[in-house]
A and B are shown apart, each in its own frame.
Chain A
Amino acid sequence: MRNVRVFFSKKGEAIFISHLDLMRSVTRALKRAGIPIWYTQGFNPHPYITFALPLSLGYEGYRESLEFRLEGDMPIADAGKKLAETMPPGIEVLEVMEQDSSPLPILFADYRIVVRCADGDFIASFEEFWSGQDIVVTKKTKRGTKEIDIKPDIQILALKTMDNANEIELTLKMSAGNTKNINPALLIEAYQGACQTPVEIISVARTGLYNEGMAPFGSDLEGERWIHKKQ
């Protein structure tokens, strides 16, 4: 039995597949591919598949990651090729690798958000909002709601006006992972609340996942890999 990590993108129609549904879709893709995966033991065995970090419904993911255990002796390259063929439209397998150790955990994620703002100079108004002391948002937790300051968890990498002048693209680096995970929509909500200007989120893409050294998630791993060469 080998641990196998898959890097994939989730775009187009696939952005509307929820996290739970993605689990089912991947299980079926593996089954169609004839890749023998390891099942959990016990009363109700189920395929063991874990995702590095759930992606919100409607968001694109450029380089997401999941892990499963491979039974038998299928070469990694074969598994990669087969899985790339059977994944549903919109989910593209980028890389499949055998993983001997656990990767360094995810601590950051980069996002690119496009918003539409009906009137006014969004960039100037946003910069003024950003220059404030803190950005307190209400976050839903298992035990109810909690007020948190998300400002320390966000870095603004770029603000750019798109071809359509009403649309602005924000590039952000945010805390992510199992201990602290900030959804970028919270920042837009906080801005709307503070400035009383309606802002429409047009699209959100998670462009990368990073570990503590700001290196791409999984880049510390060693093992046999298969890289998808696009036609």
Chain B
Amino acid sequence: MIRKQLNRFLTQVERPARYVGGEVGSIVKDKAEVSLRFAFCFPDTYEIGMSHLGMKILYGLLNSDTRIWCERVFIPWVDMQEKMRDNNIPLYGLESFDPLTEFDIIGFSLQYELSYNNILNMLDLGGVPFRCENRKGLKNLIIAGGPCTCNPEPLADFVDAFFLGESEENLPRFCELYMEAKNKGWSKEDFLIKASHIPGVYVPALYDVSYKEDGQIESVLPLQGAPMPVPKAIVTDLDKSYFPNQFIVPFIDIVHDRAIIEVMRGCIRACRFCQAGYIYRPLREKSAGVLNVNAKELCQNTGYDEVSLSSLSTSDYSQLEPLLDHMLEWSVEERINLSLPSLRVDNFTEELVEKIKKVRKSGLTFAPEAGTQRLRDVINKNVREEEIMRTCKMAFENGYTSVKLYFMLGLPTETMEDVEGILQTAQRIVDLYYSLPTKPKGKGVNVGVSVATFVPKPFTPFEFEPQDSMETVIEKQSYLAKTVRSKKISLSWHNVNTSILEAVFARGDRRLGRVMEAAYAKGCFLDSWDEHFRYTLWMESMAECGLDPAFYAGRRRAYGEILPWDHLDYYVNKPFLIQENQLAHTGQVSPNCREKCLGCGAAKYAGGGGVCFEKR
């Protein structure tokens, strides 16, 4: 029905192929034949959501069960939203064109704090009530997973159950229990109490949060025998874990339009600002043989001509060179490119450059993160300037003429000297290029400097740190803009307002749910798109709810304060984070997991696998 109505106006919206499904690899089942209908909602556009590996894994995994039909839902762009409202078309699943209200479980992927209000927008378009208490039955149960669930508290009013950590094992268990509940006619409350005992499942309604007068948390108490703390879930053996051999192949060009293999999860590094470096612990590698098969099958089944070797730090993968050798045996002949994002400058070898060169010549990107050695030590980046220069030299000598560098402004203890250091580092790379007799002939160099604003995140040693005020960040940004002299350096930075809102939600508490509703009523959604971001409306909404953004973003938190996520167990314990915070303030670095175990807490859960059990 909806499908037919769409035809009348689809040519009037931008990129209509986003709204009709039907791609190679999409899965259509008979709804009469399935027991559980699952709407996998990605609270961002098709182009972004379809690029996400986690969605591809869970889509394939859920659909591998004949009783479950998992469909995709993305946020429609504003032109489409307008047409849908004009024609009374609710938000629908891309496989069946059935409205969101038809689905048993509505699952959201939480990748970025600024996409939170897209959840409200999608529920609104789908006609699903926002608040948990307004959805009485089992139907339209809302769940959420993804990195942001490590502090899901701002969404506690809207989401019935959060999935902490990795869901490959507990999501099927949860679905199994749901089907039993549906069969036996359990109430939503009974189901959620039972579900709260599945490892990694966090039911916020089963925890009572009280606040002190100053807004800090007084206590978090579990109800109905719910577990305390709630541990995240992980997959212990990636080789045995489900991985799809087919991706949906979109018609339109999406952000990452290629095959992806996941070489490992977690990271041995302990960069103190990096949430991913802590919440995915411990590092677990996948074996080169399995990865090679994954890549080959994916290319055959999708027709993609590029495979990305994905991880947080691909050059730390211990079998990288054997893996590349395996893959190059067939990829060159089949004209398939290999791409390696996330390389580090300290273990970037000549052999690796050679291998990458064989398949692809695009720009190289590195992340020194800070402009001086002092500050790089504070954040435990463990990268020295000599290493940056050595890597750039190697790249230039191999024909590269552009490098891109990522930095952050507003890191703890940062001074103007550190800010100056950003451009000095970039200038030294430009000078290096021109000093090389072997540089590519007749070509200039381009050093891209991209400067983000630091956002303190939960489960990192910087979870206690204040974020720089807006004035300070703007002052630092203008200083950079004023002092960049070389035309060979292209400087870019992010809007500070978005980083402030990101910081509020990253370390926010349950009181922010009302702020989200107030801001949505004023029209705030698609906040990660600059043209739709309305900072003042967000600030108005905060004020109406009696909340101060500085309380969340700009305040130093005492080590003893109960943080909104303290009742969630992401394996890294608080004493470890406090110790690392103290080391940061004295400028001392810590070794990586392969050099020395720091006793972060992950080892006891690792199930005997991963980096915790490697020989050092």
Q: Do A and B bind each other?
A: yes
Residues of A within 8 A of B (CB): 12-14, 16-18, 20-21, 24-25, 27-32, 34, 39, 45, 57-58, 86, 88-90, 200, 202-203
Are A27 and B22 closer than 8 Å at their CB atoms?
Answer: no
- Interface residue B410 (Cβ < 8 Å from any Cβ of A): no
A200 to B22, CA, bound (A): 26
CB distance from A170 to the nearest CB of B (A): 18
The chain B residue sitting closest to A26, CB to CB, is B303
**Complex: A58 Cα to B20 Cα, angstroms:** 12
Bound complex: CA of A32 vs CA of B334, how far in Å?
11
- B11-57 residues with Cβ-Cβ distance < 8 A to A are 11, 15-17, 19-24
Write 10 A-B pairs (CB below 8 A) sorted by A numbering: A12-B22, A13-B20, A16-B19, A21-B251, A29-B24, A32-B24, A58-B10, A86-B303, A89-B22, A203-B7
Contact at B17–A32, with CB atoms within 8 Å? Answer: no
Q: Are A88 and B24 in contact (CB under 8 A)?
A: yes
Q: A25-B251, A88-B24, A90-B22 are in contact. Are A16 and B300 (CB under 8 A)?
A: no
Known contacts A32-B301, A86-B303, A24 near B253 by CB under 8 Å: yes
Report Cα–Cα, A90/B23, bound state, in Å.
10
Given contacts A13-B21, A16-B10, A202-B8, contact A31 B253 (CB under 8 A): no
Q: Which residues of chain B are near A28, meaning CB under 8 Å?
A: 24, 249, 302-304
A116 to B301, CA, bound (A): 42
Chain B residues touching A, majority SS: loop
> Distance in Å from the Cβ of B361 to the closest Cβ of chain A?
9
CB distance from A166 to the nearest CB of B (A): 13
Q: Are A27 and B303 in contact (CB under 8 A)?
A: yes
Chain B nearest CB from A27 CB (Å) reads 7
B374 within 8 A of A: no
Shortest Cβ distance from residue B18 to the other chain A in the assembled complex, whole angstroms: 9
Residues of B contacting A90 in the complex (Cβ-Cβ under 8 angstroms): 22
B251 engages A17 (CB within 8 Å): yes
8 closest cross-chain pairs (CB), A and B: A28-B303, A13-B22, A58-B11, A31-B303, A32-B303, A16-B16, A16-B17, A17-B251
B102 beta carbon closer than 8 Å to chain A: no
- Please, how many angstroms separate the alpha-carbon atoms of A17 and B251 in the complex? 6
**Nearest CB of chain A from residue B15's CB, rounded to whole Å:** 8
Q: Which of B7, B17, B251, B305 lies in contact with A31, CB distance below 8 A?
A: B305
Q: Which residue of B lies closest to A202 (CB)?
A: B8
Contact of B17 among A17, A30, A39, A45 (CB under 8 A): A17
List residues of chain B with CB under 8 Å of any chain A CB.
7-8, 10-11, 15-17, 19-24, 249, 251-253, 299-305, 335
How many angstroms from the CA of A202 to the CA of B4 in the assembled complex? 11
- One of B11, B301, B335 near A57 (C-beta < 8 A): B11
CA distance A78 to B578 in the complex (A): 66
Chain B nearest CB, measured from A64 CB (Å): 16
Q: Out of A12, A88, A203, which one reaches B251, CB within 8 Å?
A: A88
User: Which residues on the A side are within 8 Å of B22 (C-beta)?
Assistant: 12-14, 88-90
B-chain residues with CB within 8 Å of residue A57 when the two chains form the complex: 11, 16
Nearest-CB residue, chain A, relative to B301: A32
Q: Is the Cβ of A16 less than 8 Å from the Cβ of B251?
A: yes
A16 to chain B: which residues have CB within 8 Å? Answer: 10-11, 16-17, 19-20, 251
C-alpha spacing A25/B304, complex, angstroms: 10
The reply to whether B303 and A29 contact each other, CB–CB distance below 8 Å, is: yes
Q: Please give the distance in Å from B225's CB to the nearest CB on chain A.
A: 49
B9 → A minimal CB distance (Å): 10
Return chain A residues, CB-CB under 8 Å to B335. Answer: 39, 45
Q: Which chain A positions have C-beta within 8 A of B7?
A: 203
Q: How far is the CA of A30 from the CA of B304 in the complex (A)?
A: 11
Task: List chain A residues, Cβ under 8 A from B17.
Answer: 16-18, 21
> What's the Cα separation between A57 and B252 when bound, in Å?
12
Pairwise interchain contact B251-A32, C-beta atoms closer than 8 A? no
* New A-B pairs, 17, CB < 8 Å, besides A18-B17, A31-B303: A12-B22, A13-B22, A16-B19, A17-B251, A21-B251, A24-B251, A27-B305, A28-B249, A29-B24, A31-B304, A32-B301, A58-B10, A86-B24, A86-B303, A88-B22, A88-B249, A202-B8
Q: Which residues of A have CB within 8 Å of B304?
A: 28, 31
Expressed in whole angstroms, the minimum distance between the Cβ of A90 and any Cβ of chain B is 6
Which chain A residues border B11 with CB–CB below 8 Å? Answer: 16, 57-58
Could you tell me the distance between the alpha carbons of A113 and B23 in the complex, rounded to whole angstroms?
27
Q: Which of chain A's residues have a CB closer than 8 A to the CB of B251?
A: 16-17, 21, 24-25, 88
**Given the complex of chains A and B, what is the CA–CA distance between A200 and B299 in angstroms?**
43
- Chain A hits for B19, CB < 8 A: 16
Contact residues in A for B15 (Cβ distance below 8 Å) = 18
Chain A residue with the shortest CB-CB distance to B252: A21
A32–B8 contact, CB under 8 A? no
Give Cα A17–Cα B303 distance, bound, in whole angstroms: 17
Q: Return chain A residues, CB-CB under 8 Å to B23.
A: 88
**In the complex, A228→B300 CA distance in Å?**
24
For the complex, what is the distance from the CA of A185 to the CA of B261, rounded to whole Å? 45
Q: How far is the CB of B112 from chain A (nearest CB, A)?
A: 27
Residue of A nearest to B11 (CB): A58
Q: Is the CB of B24 within 8 A of A21?
A: no
CB distance from A38 to the nearest CB of B (A): 11
A18 CA / B11 CA spacing, docked (Å)? 11
A18→B299 CA distance, assembly (Å): 23
Name the residue on A nearest B18 (C-beta).
A16
How many angstroms between the C-alpha atoms of A123 and B23 in the bound complex? 39
Q: How far is the CA of A39 from the CA of B305 in the complex (A)?
A: 13
Contact partners of A25 in chain B: CB under 8 A: 249, 251
CB distance from B326 to the nearest CB of A (A): 20
Q: Which residue of B lies closest to A13 (CB)?
A: B22
Whole-angstrom distance between the alpha carbons of A123 and B539 in the complex? 58
In this complex, the member of B299, B300, B304, B335 whose beta carbon has the largest number of chain A beta carbons within 10 angstroms is: B335
Closest CB in chain A relative to B116 CB, distance in Å: 30
Report the Cα distance A203→B10, complex, angstroms: 11
Give A18 Cβ to nearest chain B Cβ, in Å: 7
Instruction: Give chain A nearest CB distance to B414 CB in angstroms.
Output: 42
Docked CA distance A20–B251 (Å): 10
A32 touching B252 by the CB < 8 A rule? Answer: no
Residues of B within 8 Å of A13, CB to CB, are 20-22
**Are A30 and B303 in contact (CB-based, < 8 A)?**
yes
Q: How far is the CA of A16 from the CA of B15 in the complex (A)?
A: 8
User: In the complex the two chains form, what is the Cα distance from A20 to B304 in whole Å?
Assistant: 16
CA distance A29 to B8 in the complex (A): 29
A-chain residues with CB within 8 Å of residue B24 when the two chains form the complex: 28-29, 32, 86, 88-89
Known: A57-B16, A58-B16. Is A32-B300 also a contact (CB below 8 A)? yes
CB distance from B19 to the nearest CB of A (A): 8
Give A14 to B251 CA distance when docked, in angstroms. 9
Chain B residues, Cβ within 8 Å of A12: 22
**In the complex, A163→B301 CA distance in Å?**
44
B74 to chain A, nearest CB (A): 15
Query: Which residues does chain A contribute within 8 Å of B16, judged by CB atoms?
Result: 16, 57-58
Bound together, the chains give a CA A90 to CA B26 distance in angstroms of 14
A39 to B20, CA, bound (A): 31
A65 to B526, CA, bound (A): 40
- Bound: A123/B253 CA distance, A: 42
A48, chain B: closest CB distance, angstroms: 12
Q: CA separation between A89 and B23, bound complex, in Å?
A: 7
* Distance A45 CA – B11 CA, assembled complex (angstroms): 33
B301 cross-chain contacts in A, Cβ below 8 A: 32
Give Cα A100–Cα B195 distance, bound, in whole angstroms.
67
A27 vs B306: C-alpha distance when bound (angstroms)? 13
The minimal Cβ–Cβ distance linking A21 to chain B, given in whole angstroms, is 5
A202 to B322, CA, bound (A): 57
| In the bound complex, CA of A187 to CA of B304 (Å) | 40
